[in-house]
Amino acid sequence: MNNNLYNKPLFTNQTFTPPTNINYTNNATNFQPMALPSEQSYIENILRLNKGKQVRVHMTFPDSNEFRDREFKGIIEQSGRDHIILSDPKTGTWELLLMIYVDFISFDEPINYSEDFLPKS
């Protein structure tokens, strides 16, 4: 029907040759868990340092009239570059919140913060 719209590439007689300079090891003793980057003060790293603490996440959803500004309360379970996972033990709910909508985060106790995040003088 629309065969002219997208031309499929032709791959004929091509073989894949893996790189030879990679050392593949299957040794469990070489495994090291991922460490936090010590030189960057990303929100995700600060939240990971405060995993298990009670927080209030203040968010704005600009395209919603019903839920424009909301506050989510819960315990930090996990965080990533683009999300936060909170749990609320009182209600048993878990929430996956997108960082793009976060305005600020409030803690009711001191925040753990790494000295590695501070500028070196």
Let me know if residue 25 belongs to a domain. no
What pLDDT score does 27 carry?
Answer: 52
Specify if 79 maps to a domain: yes
Domain region containing 77: 42-109
Looking at every residue in the chain, the average pLDDT score rounds to: 79
What's the pLDDT band for 114 if we cut at 50, 70, 90?
A: confident
pLDDT at residue 39 in the model: 46
The closest alpha carbon to 99, from 121, 75, 83, 117, belongs to 83
Residue type, 35: A
Which residues are paired to 106 by β-bridges? Answer: 56
Number of separate domains in the chain? 1
In a domain, 1, yes or no: no
- Verdict on whether the full-model pTM lies above 0.75: no
**For residue 87, what is the domain's CATH number?**
2.30.30.100
